[in-house]
Amino acid sequence: MTSKGRKNRKPNPLMKRIPRELRKDLGKYIVLFLFLTLMIGFVSGHMVADGSMFKAYNDSFSKYNIENGHFITSLKLTDRAIGNIEDEDVKLCELFYKDKMLTKDKTIRLYKIREEMDLADVMEGRLPEKEGEIVIDRLFAENNEIEVGDSMTIDKKELKVVGMVALSDYSALFKNNSDMMFDATNFCVALVTPEQFRDFSNAGLKYCYAWRNNNQELTESEQQTKAEDLMGVVYENALDGADISYGAVIWNSLMGSFPGADYEELDVTSGEKPLQDYVSRQDNQAIQFTGDDMGRDKIMFQWFLYIIVAVLAFAFAITTRNTIEQEAKTIGTLRASGYTRKELLVHYITLPVIVTVAAALTGNILGYTAFKAPMAAMYYHSYSLPTYTTVWSAEAFFKTTVIPCLLVIAVEVLIVGRSLSLSPLQFLRRDLKRHRQSRAVKLPDISFKRRFLLRVLLQNKSTYVLLFAGIFFASFIFLFGSLFAPLLHNFKDNVQESKICDYQYILKEQVETEDPDAEKYAVCTLKNENGEDITVYGIQKDSKYVDMKNIGGASGDGVILSDGYLDKYGLAEGDEITLKEEFNSNRYSFRVQGEYKYPAVLCVFMSIDRFNKMFDMEEDYFSGYFSNRELKDINETDVATIITEKDLTVMANQLEDSMGLVFYMFLVFAVVIFLLMIYLLARLITERNTYAISMLKILGYTDREAGRLYNSATLVMTVISFILSGVLGIAGIRGIYYVMMRAFTGWLTFYVAPWGVPLLIVTGIACYFFVSLIIMRRIRRIPMADALKDVE
């Protein structure tokens, strides 16, 4: 076939339609543009803040000489011991601290100003220069409304706050590494001058030593291996020069992560514990949690964006498909005249792509300017991060500009391309159904209005499928936003109801109390197959705190599990679980014999006799007391920790504090998507039926009657979509929640507030009625003349 040749590359005159189409549907495109811009700006801002913050976080390891790990000894190390440890190609640094109570609930951990390792980033003010001055963690200060210049009273000494700092070894304010969650409201780290530090009593003093590898080029796994090797050396030298020996392994295993099994190989001969804590950087939640959480957030926001863009791309495509239907005969003529599918495809997808590209670029500019600071503030509100500088992120640009644009193009090409794949003759005949329907769907003998409604539903099947998809997705966001606060409240209520006692003492030494309210118990921590800490309790027979009637004696393998444990891992009565000691091969298998309502902790209950037998303890061994009263006759130095209700709800409180604002944002965002989807699709249905509405008016239908005939179908589908989305959404969220929570330490019982789904439906219907007001305005404006003209 010969052709006249195609040198012609003039601009396609069809493109002159673009600005006119834009003007014609300006409102629609502005709404879509703004929505996409805000969404992309929000995610871009988050990615920029996340990337910049993550870089600052990573850089802080070298910038502030962050430790490769630390350990706490019972006694101060001798120079010889320090020398022996440093021979392992590490540098040791004293990071002694004193934990002091600020108030009944708040603990402050005091350090001397650091000069070698774990240096402070002074974010406001200056470091202390003399006695009576203190710098405190910026986030704790923010949460407690403390400002530079304020005074704090610690141990009856008044100190002036002269600065706010971020300590990268406490980017997440975990008081103990075994805590379920950090607590930036009730736990603070602070620096004072060495003189001031000495001036405080030694109560709560910890001989903490941080180490830093001389070779900073080691990989993560090499660092971890080195930390494990170093532990033996530390252990051997921890009691150097002292006439003391090996003690309660079980207590140690509770306090940190170091291997009980290796103890037997060590030559320690008397009653003192050599090590109280040993934590490598990789195992240190106070250091690692922030980085891990940032990574999780980034992935979540990224997918959030893609799903929204995909939904909008479908909305764009369906709108375009509607235009193609309306212009079918013109398209047929153009195709018959020689316009190719590709030329028409490019024409029809140009406007959506332009809007997306413009939104992506504007969103990115906003991301780097207006949105970056609030996103960074979100991190600063959760974590004690050092000062960051904005880093240009090609990845953020790619993910928030290139991918959304490609996504829109892909969806448009797929749907619009498919619409345009019909033959010119089919367009000319307006025969746009891919599969010809032999005859109209027969409807039951019902009233005219109902049949009309069903016809509208059948005519707009694909539009309503998209409406459902959009509503379903937004409902997911809505439910996440609306259900999380009640879930946390419910959890806290449950903890309140099911707590074992008001004061759960864990002792360093087996000391007796005269308090008749106190009841002895034994406890240790093992790891489950997922590497999560499981607390194992040995409980007195006929315990007044834990109802253990069905637990049996010391024989058999049956144990009672807390409902939190059962729930998190989907366990049931009769299942077998295997727990192991962290650093050796000792494994313990148990059969689940029952459930105990104790959602706050993942734990296993057995009788104390069986506990002591299983872990080779003396018959009368115990490691703590349950009590509903404070035990006055126990010396503070003999107490490792006291677990109160506050400790059990710290995770819920922290989540509530750091995520509260995000959940409200989710709600607002979801409502915007509801409005947008309902508006776009209701408008599309009205546009598609302009001729019919015009004709109805000619026949004598009022605007309201004509509008109702079409809008009622949308109302029905909206309500059905919201009901289905509510039911499916809850099921989906439950699934995601269980997967998501397994990544966290601890457990929050899944709970759906009874008003969750009704609230979603009511909000959805309210959105519909708001949109229907706008649509009715459009219907009123449809002139009757439209039905009398055949102008395309």
Partner 1 sequence: MDLELKNIKKAYGEGESRQEVLRGITFELEAGDICVLLGPSGSGKSTLLNIIGGIDTADSGSVTIGDHTVERMTDRDLSEYRRDHLGFVFQSYNLIPNLTVRENIEVGAYLSDDPLPLDELITTLGLWEHKDKMPNQISGGQQQRTAIGRAIVKNPDILLCDEPTGALDYSTSKEILQLIETVNHKYGSTVIIVTHNDALKQMADRVVILKDGRVTETYRNETKIPAAELEW
Q: Considering the rule CB under 8 A, would residue 337 count as an interface residue with partner 1?
A: yes
Token output for 79: 């120079």
Q: Considering the rule CB under 8 A, would residue 333 count as an interface residue with partner 1?
A: yes
* Three-state secondary structure string covering 753-776: CCCHHHHHHHHHHHHHHHHHHHHH
> Residue 157 or residue 778: which is nearer to partner 1 going by CB?
778
Q: Which stretch binds partner 1 (CB under 8 A): 18-26, 43-51, 149-157, 734-742?
A: 18-26
276 φ/ψ angles, rounded to the nearest 5 degrees: -100, -20
Among 49, 249, 334, 696, binds partner 1 (CB under 8 A): 334
> Residue 25 or residue 262: which is nearer to partner 1 going by CB?
25
CB of 337 to partner 1, least distance (A): 6
Q: What is the DSSP letter of 107?
A: E
Helix, strand, or coil (residue 533): strand
Q: Which stretch binds partner 1 (CB under 8 A): 16-24, 96-104, 575-583, 732-740?
A: 16-24
Scored b (16 or more CB within 10 A) or e, 729-739 reads bbeebeeebee
Q: Considering the rule CB under 8 A, would residue 327 count as an interface residue with partner 1?
A: yes
Q: Considering the rule CB under 8 A, would residue 739 count as an interface residue with partner 1?
A: no
CB of 14 to partner 1, least distance (A): 6
- 787 half-sphere exposure, CB direction, 13 A CA radius: 14
Virtual torsion, Cα 52, 56, 57, 62, nearest 10 deg: 150
480 φ/ψ angles, rounded to the nearest 5 degrees: -60, -45
H helix or E strand, kind and range, residue 252:
helix 249-255
For 499-631, where are the alpha helices, taking DSSP H only?
A: 563-569, 608-614
Whose tokens are 């008044």? That residue is: 158
Of residues 413-452, those binding partner 1 (CB under 8 A): 423-425, 428
Angle between helices 341-368 and 403-419 (to 10 degrees): 160
Among 21, 59, 236, 262, binds partner 1 (CB under 8 A): 21
> Residue 423 or residue 584: which is nearer to partner 1 going by CB?
423
Q: Which stretch binds partner 1 (CB under 8 A): 103-111, 322-330, 508-516, 744-752?
A: 322-330
DSSP string, 649-669: THHHHHHHHHHHHHHHHHHHH
Q: What is the DSSP letter of 445?
A: S
# residues contacting partner 1 (CB under 8 A): 37
Among 69, 332, 352, 558, binds partner 1 (CB under 8 A): 332
Question: How far is Cα 437 from Cα 420, in angstroms, rounded to an integer?
Answer: 19
CB of 8 to partner 1, least distance (A): 4
- Return the CA Rg of the chain: 34
Sign of the CA dihedral running 310, 316, 322, 327: negative
CB of 330 to partner 1, least distance (A): 5
> Residue 337 or residue 635: which is nearer to partner 1 going by CB?
337
Q: Considering the rule CB under 8 A, would residue 339 count as an interface residue with partner 1?
A: yes
> Residue 104 or residue 436: which is nearer to partner 1 going by CB?
436
> Residue 96 or residue 339: which is nearer to partner 1 going by CB?
339
526 φ/ψ angles, rounded to the nearest 5 degrees: -120, 170
Q: Considering the rule CB under 8 A, would residue 350 count as an interface residue with partner 1?
A: no
> Residue 323 or residue 482: which is nearer to partner 1 going by CB?
323
CB of 678 to partner 1, least distance (A): 27
CB of 422 to partner 1, least distance (A): 11
Q: Considering the rule CB under 8 A, would residue 13 count as an interface residue with partner 1?
A: yes
**Minimal CA–CA distance to 250: which of 508, 524, 510?**
524
> Residue 24 or residue 734: which is nearer to partner 1 going by CB?
24
> Residue 29 or residue 565: which is nearer to partner 1 going by CB?
29
Whose tokens are 């039926």? That residue is: 689
Q: Which stretch binds partner 1 (CB under 8 A): 174-182, 194-202, 329-337, 470-478?
A: 329-337
H helix or E strand, kind and range, residue 124:
strand 120-125
> Residue 340 or residue 496: which is nearer to partner 1 going by CB?
340
CB of 418 to partner 1, least distance (A): 16
> Residue 9 or residue 632: which is nearer to partner 1 going by CB?
9
CB of 51 to partner 1, least distance (A): 44
Whose tokens are 């959506």? That residue is: 352
Q: Which stretch binds partner 1 (CB under 8 A): 77-85, 334-342, 372-380, 562-570?
A: 334-342
- Cβ atoms of 183 and 173 within 8 Å: the answer is yes
H helix or E strand, kind and range, residue 286:
helix 285-326
Residues with Cβ within 8 Å of 340's Cβ and at least 6 positions away in sequence, in order, are none
> Residue 215 or residue 423: which is nearer to partner 1 going by CB?
423
Scored b (16 or more CB within 10 A) or e, 192-227 reads bbeebbeebeeebebbbbbbbbeeeeeeeeebbebb
Distance of CA 451 to the CA centre of its chain: 47
**Minimal CA–CA distance to 741: which of 515, 521, 487, 535?**
487
CB of 416 to partner 1, least distance (A): 17
> Residue 14 or residue 354: which is nearer to partner 1 going by CB?
14
Of residues 695-724, those binding partner 1 (CB under 8 A): none
Of residues 135-194, those binding partner 1 (CB under 8 A): none
CB of 1 to partner 1, least distance (A): 5
CB of 423 to partner 1, least distance (A): 7
Among 58, 151, 270, 330, binds partner 1 (CB under 8 A): 330
**Minimal CA–CA distance to 242: which of 215, 217, 203, 271?**
271
> Residue 394 or residue 791: which is nearer to partner 1 going by CB?
791
CB of 428 to partner 1, least distance (A): 7
Token output for 18: 């673009």
> Residue 10 or residue 156: which is nearer to partner 1 going by CB?
10
**Minimal CA–CA distance to 238: which of 257, 263, 205?**
263
Among 138, 335, 492, 683, binds partner 1 (CB under 8 A): 335
Among 115, 149, 267, 338, binds partner 1 (CB under 8 A): 338
Residues with Cβ within 8 Å of 296's Cβ and at least 6 positions away in sequence, in order, are 743
- In the complex, which residues of this chain contact partner 1 (CB under 8 A)? 1-8, 10, 12-14, 16-17, 20-21, 24, 327, 329-330, 332-340, 423-425, 428, 789-792
